[in-house]
Structure 1
Amino acid sequence: MTGLSHAGHQDRVHPLKGGRHVDHESVTLSAEGPVGDRAFCLLDPAVDRCLRTVEHPTLLATRALWDGTVLRAELPGRTVVGEPVATGDVREVDYWGRTATVELVHGPWAAAYSAHLGREVVLGRAAPGQVVFGASVTIVTDGSLARLAREVGAPVDGARLRATFQLDDAGARPFAEDEWVGRRLRLGAAEVEVTGLVGRCAVIDLDPASGVRDLPVLKALAALRAETGGVDLGLYAEVVAPALVRTGDPASVAPLG
């Protein structure tokens, strides 16, 4: 097994699709993915479409906290808290070209986010996996982030990549994790199967706390990945052995064969 660690790094989820990542000391991985991750999404009610961060970057200036009962949304100059109440209004909505099923909820969040965004939005609750692009778990490594930072000429906060886990790969060569596709990765007591590489978009150019476009990260990544013809960074994975994963738990990659 290849020794890895994610000691010193926060495990991350974001309860509201498109909002700022929330750091946690631990994440519970269920068979469907990280518990509480992307449990809610904002919708354009006129066209039943899930809002995209790349089109609404100021979503990154907001933070949602969800304990399974109470949803707390922190927006610039305003915080709204309550227990979401199901409306029974179930919508089939567009999520990046595929259909996702969400249920609208009552509460103060739609008005608060509408005021923040300057347009009408409604809040929907989604079942696990409904508003997840790719796979339920994503992983990045320090080695690849460090190489990207050198190309950019400035530090690249791992939060830009919006990954579930950031691993310390003990000085491995950049993008060595590309070779993990098809293999299993143990994270503490949990185990995931790596299913593919994560293709990146212009969201990684945005400051992860404000949504301000401040660094040409995507351009730098494209230069680094010119030989592959893609802009991949990080891994998609699905959970095969659910468990609680704590920051600092050891991580290891199963050998080939």
Structure 2
Amino acid sequence: MLIGHIKKIIRHPVKSFGGESVPKTNVMEYGLYGDRSHVFLDETRPGKFLTITQFPGMVRYKARFVGEESMDEYPYVEITTPEGKTTAWGDDLLREIENKSKRKVSLRKYAPSLVPPGAIEEEHIQLVTDASMKKLKEIWGQEADDRRFRPNLFISLAEKTPFIEETWFGKRIKIGRDVEFEIIRHCERCMIVTVNPDNAEINAPLLKTIVKERNNRFGVYASVIKTGEIRVDDKVYLLD
């Protein structure tokens, strides 16, 4: 059954940095190609990543791949700082993040063929729908930028039924010719949604609204069943 089409594909080459909206990408066994493949390890919390939760200013950095996707090596990762300077993934960026976060951190990069669980999210893919986004804005009474929720896929529904994606648990969706995902469960939210992606200012009432009105749930997680290429405007089907 046709349920809509892909409106946006968003990947985050650097975990907790702003991502890039791309016209197409490969879906790997772990999720979108290169998604959260470059991470900062928080040496003050052994085994943990440095994220927006510890340093909200990370959200003001933007990362994108420059070049064609390769299974041997990632394209060049271009970082744009909050000050508008462009730099590369490397020691200069490391020192800047350490200075601003006031934490000792280290860099790690995972291979294009395998990004381990936890670097991306709790599941392979997070998706939200336009109808649910519109309804949340109504509930909250303010504009709610979808970047706050850091989805991988933004689906435009054929029938604008808010939160209908929560009825898909245990079912599969197909995108384009080959790619299939299984919808797994709710995405439970944390303080990251309160951080404005443009200026890193915190707006606590948004999370309080989601907790009160949505039992702290917005968006859903999905696992990759079949890999392949997806494109913006690809049709999305709910499989029997």
TM range (shorter): 0.7 to 0.9
Please state whether the residue corresponding to 2:107 is helix, strand or coil.
strand
Question: CA 1:178/1:47 → structure 2, altered by over 3 Å: closer, same or farther?
Answer: closer
Q: Please, what is the CA RMSD of the aligned residues?
A: 1.9
Contact residue 61 and residue 79 of structure 2 kept, 8 A: yes
Partner of 1:81: 88
Runs of 4+ off more than 6 Å: none
Contact 2:3/2:159 (8 A) holds in 1: no
Q: Which has the higher strand share?
A: 1
The one-letter amino acid paired with 2:53 is: V
Gaps of 5+ in 1: 83-105
Q: CA deviation at 1:215?
A: 6.2
The offset of 1:143, in angstroms, is: 0.8
Give the Cα–Cα distance (whole angstroms) in 2 for the partners of residues 203 and 46 of structure 1: 20
Cα deviation per residue 1:118-171 (whole Å; 9 max; x = unaligned)? 433221113413412221111101111111000111121211111110111134
> Unaligned 5+ residue runs, structure 2?
67-73
Return the alpha-carbon distance in structure 1 between the equivalents of residues 29 and 102 of structure 2: 37
Q: Is residue 254 of structure 1 aligned with residue 218 of structure 2?
A: no
Q: Distance in 1 between matches of 2:45 and 2:160?
A: 46
Change (3 A) 1:46 1:220: closer
The corresponding residue for 1:121 is: 105
Q: Name the residue aligned to 1:245.
A: 230
Shift of 1:112: 2.6
The residue number in structure 1 matching 2:157 is 169
The offset of 1:76, in angstroms, is 2.3
Q: How many angstroms apart in 2 are the aligned matches of 1:141 and 1:248?
A: 14
Letter in 2 for 1:220: T
Tell me how many residue pairs correspond in the alignment. Answer: 226
Partner residue, 1:204: 193
TM-score, with structure 1 as normaliser: 0.81
Residues 1-257 of structure 1 mapped to structure 2, 5 A cutoff: 1-6=1-6, 9-48=7-46, 49-67=48-66, 68-77=74-83, 78-81=85-88, 107-126=91-110, 127-130=114-117, 131-189=119-177, 190-214=179-203, 216-225=205-214, 230-255=215-240
Q: TM-score, normalised by structure 2?
A: 0.86
Query: What secondary structure is seen at the aligned counterpart in 2 of 1:146?
Result: helix
1:5-63 CA distance string (max 9 Å, x none) = 12xx3210111111112211112101221111000111222443311212211100101
